[in-house]
Structure 1
Amino acid sequence: MKKDITYCGYIGIVGRTNVGKSSILNQLIGRKISITSHKSGTTQKNIVGIHTIKQHQCIYIDTPGIEIDRKNLEKNLFQNKYCMQLIIFVINKTKWLQLEDIILQKIKKFFIPIILIINKIDHIKNKTQLLPFINLIHKKHQFLSIIPISAKTGKNINILSNTISNNLPKSKYIFLQNNITIHSKEFIICEIIREKLIRLLNQEIPYLIKVQIERYWINSCGIHCIYAIILSQNIRQKKIIIGKNGNKIKKCYLLAKHDIQKYLNKKIILTLNIKTVKA
């Protein structure tokens, strides 16, 4: 392989809600840029992750989870600014339901090679079910590859990564080699805070909770100072977010601060405020 030859392409990650798409993205990138939770619908918009190693640049698009009543599937998967070279279709263990058939029929129309990922194999108690299931879905489509993985443990992520790299077209890099996402630091920080809220509040408030960075600066000691606002729809929601004796917001603060410092690799001063706005 000549050193001056590079390979680059966009890879869409699709599937129903709560199959682990964001966890797979984070494993492939090697950094946490897409938030995760057991609550379906956590990812609200396309998250772009970039992984460049040696002569390959993979640009991943983590799409919001698809639900049975989702109408504009094509628009959700492929915005005009992205031209996919590969699709990663993620399913949950050995579950293939009506929605998987609907998704497959839609994405087949794009005539883009599809890698089928069977995620959460660490949760499959009877591993003898796996091979017959793979044989069954082989008949549904000529997938580029079918790979059982565990995004939680990282099992077979290297196989997935190699399969993707080996099927990228020759192309110049689109982004700088040290880029890991197109999103701003502020966006990622908001997502980290939102993740903690979703996990802590579970079903108590809608997952469509919003977070905004009002101020972000670096002080004279080199510490990153972040003033974030959590937007609640009413007083009741605000009280739920605060929690009894402020326990919920305190825990959110501690968890978010830890992950933000890890993401930035810098010391931070985090301030969280809750503001009530009209829905």
Structure 2
Amino acid sequence: MLDVLQAAAVAAGKAILDVYHAGPEVSYKADCSPVTDADESAEKIILDRLAAAFPDIPVVAEEAVAAGHIPDIEGKSFFLVDPLDGTKEFVGRNDDFTVNIALIENGEPVAGVVYAPALGILYAATRNKAKKSVVSGQHDIGPPTIIGCRSRGDTLVALASRSHNSQETIAYLTEHGITDYESIGSSLKFCLLAEGLADIYPRLSRTMEWDTAAGDAVLRAAGGETVTMDGSPLAYGKRNQISDADFANPHFVSRGKS
């Protein structure tokens, strides 16, 4: 399965880079978030490939959900897809955007791929194994390197969202005595934790499941965790929520090893 997910992400990434270099056409969804022709073309590539390889596994994809297309996932494993995570980074000509594909089983991200096409870096994970590859040339995936979270030292290095930081996040860092933090776009924050380059990523602003699932899969496979503010593991497949929309996440903290 992971080979299919990686190939789909890289193919989508090629289409995204074509638009990136030509200059994207930007429109706005009902929630005022931007969407480009790259989002839509990349999602089609991924959906076509997943349907061909895994016709019985439903797919929850960001742009399809925005258009009102939500499959029945009750009691089923399913894919979560964000064809272009970090659209604001993409539009702003910042290379921190990614393609995200994750497999969810029993509310847990058990496999995932995060591909940063402008950086030529691909992260992939199955249970208990996370890896990083360089993608070069004609979008060829190089040999993988196994990655893992680092143990925490006396001083923690935090990551924060570049485009969606919040005063609540800054207050959390201050409360926990964390003064060293870097702002990064998209799901790369999970991957940097998984790679042992930082220790903690508090997210006290809104996200959706497709924003987090693939990166969270990489992080968990690398020995880290993502928990809500009450300490429970962040769950996936959230429908009919009283306080928020389908697939919306509560605030959470992602972190490496204790």
* TM-based fold match above 0.5: no
For normalisation by structure 2, the TM-score amounts to: 0.24
For normalisation by structure 1, the TM-score amounts to: 0.22
Indicate the structure (1 or 2) with the bigger Cα radius of gyration: 1
Bigger strand fraction: 2
Bigger relative contact order, structure 1 or 2 (CA pairs below 8 A, ≥6 apart)? 1
